[in-house]
Amino acid sequence: MVVETRYVTSGEVFVAYQISGQDGPDLLMTPGFVSHLELSWENPHAARFLNDLGSFSRLIRFDKRGTGLSDRGVGVPHLDERIDDIRAVLDAAGSQRAYLFGVSEGGPMSILFAATYPERVAGLILFGTYARTVGASVPFDDFAALERDIRSNWGTGKSLPSFSPSAAAIPGAMERFAKFERSAASPSDVINLMRMNREIDVTAILPSIRVPTLVMHRRDDVRIRALAGRKLGERIPGARYIELPGNDHLAWSGDQDRLVEEIRQFMGVSPAAVDVDRVLSTVMFTDIVDSTRKASLVGDRQWRSTLEAHHAAVRSELERHRGREVKTTGDGFLALFDGPARAVRCAQGIVSAVRPLDLEVRAGVHTGEVEMMGEDVGGIAVHIAARVAQHAKANEVLASSTVKDLVAGAGLKFFDQGPAELKGLAEPMRLFAALT
């Protein structure tokens, strides 16, 4: 089948995508750790799988940045960038609302997107995936051996049995897989991706999913333990979990017909109304340190002038990092972000931007479910972010453990501050100082 490959820019990166199938509900498929849009059609089993999905949906697929036909050499993409790419592809495809089909490594980014943009997600379908790689991925049990294997064998097709035992026995399959490996990513790209993936953990946001969810996993998956799928089914509110027979990790290997039929039935159900008043967001609080004393020293007029300059500097950083100002809190700000890495970098930018004003600020950042209340926001995530900010020192950006886990691969460095007692929480929360 010949399907046109198109490009869309996400930031400064070109992301390759394809649209196939019939008129019907939009289904966006987020691939595993590496992919190649065009070579997928050369594999007869993968092509049948894609055609079957396209028989009842408008199928939208893309190669993640750094792999396949998308821009290469762009570094290891972190989750903020990955959900940006999903949004860019959906916009380019003219899709206002789509089902997300997260396969393997595509699962965490689909989970994060569904929690952050529930109004754009008709339903979430997860297959052979996890919330946290460590403990879920069989090869990661001995990561050093996995790295050695990639350095020695990537591009030869020898890894096929560790993805699909049933496909490995098919004549010509290993040669096709070798070509796929070489075309999808280089050995160093694969190693860097896997190193980053070891740090991903979206467990904390699973309760924030507010869209219909179907979780499927093969019972004896050779790559990702079925326990990881069961945990997703247990922790995502209202999720339906189906455990399928078989040991193939690749969706189009083994009994793909059952998988396709479950997806068809799931998408055939009218999507439940989404409560868009409750969404996943990253909350940032900032606060001028020792503001009362400073105001008394310089006088009301000078302090008003200083505050105006402070507010201008903060708003400039918010605009630069796509933050949404919710309100000022006298000498601080409350803002929301659709990505945790942007929130941390914005807070760091604010700390630097107000230094010439002879001001010191502190900031707290947390990701969680936020209640949208007109122009204001509420919910436990807002309270946690405020408490985190109260623990910060002058010129310090403190992040919750949830934020630290979600920004894996973003190039941010943190210093573990240990557990802290936060008012209103039954258990201590581990806090991390973002290093500048």
In tens, the pLDDT along 40-80 reads: 998 888 999 999 999 899 999 999 999 999 999 888 788 88
Cα–Cα distance for residue pair 225/229, rounded to 1 Å: 7
How far is residue 30 from each of residues 27, 64, 164, 402, measured CA to CA in Å? Answer: 10, 8, 19, 23
> What pLDDT, on a 0 to 100 scale, did the predictor assign at position 276?
64
Phi, psi of 335 (to 5 degrees): -140, 155
The residues, ordered by sequence, that sit 6+ positions from 134 with a Cβ below 8 Å of its Cβ are: 140, 198, 201
Phi, psi of 304 (to 5 degrees): -60, -40
- DSSP assignment of 217-284: EETT-SSB-HHHHHHHHHHSTT-EEEEES----STTSSSHHHHHHHHHHHHHSPPPPP-TTEEEEEEE
> What pLDDT, on a 0 to 100 scale, did the predictor assign at position 408?
86
> What pLDDT, on a 0 to 100 scale, did the predictor assign at position 3?
86
- DSSP assignment of 51-63: HHHHTSSEEEEEP
* pTM (two decimals): 0.88
Structure tokens at 199: 């740090």
Helix (H, G, I), strand (E, B) or coil at 332: strand
Residue 329, Cα to own-chain centre: how many angstroms?
Answer: 30
How far is residue 132 from each of residues 54, 126, 197, 225, 307, measured CA to CA in Å? Answer: 30, 14, 9, 11, 43
Low-confidence ranges of the chain (pLDDT < 70): 1-2, 269-276
> What pLDDT, on a 0 to 100 scale, did the predictor assign at position 278?
83
Instruction: State the angle between helix axes of 79-92 and 340-353 in degrees (0 to 180), rounded to the nearest 10.
Output: 110
**The amino acid at 126:** L
> What pLDDT, on a 0 to 100 scale, did the predictor assign at position 270?
52
- The residue count of the chain comes to 436
> What pLDDT, on a 0 to 100 scale, did the predictor assign at position 424?
72
Residue 207, Cα to own-chain centre: how many angstroms?
Answer: 15
The residues, ordered by sequence, that sit 6+ positions from 93 with a Cβ below 8 Å of its Cβ are: 17, 19, 26, 28, 58, 60
Helix (H, G, I), strand (E, B) or coil at 42: coil
How far is residue 241 from each of residues 69, 99, 125, 167, 228, measured CA to CA in Å? Answer: 33, 17, 10, 25, 11
Cα–Cα distance for residue pair 92/122, rounded to 1 Å: 18
Pairing of the two strands 332-337 and 240-244: unpaired
> What pLDDT, on a 0 to 100 scale, did the predictor assign at position 148?
92
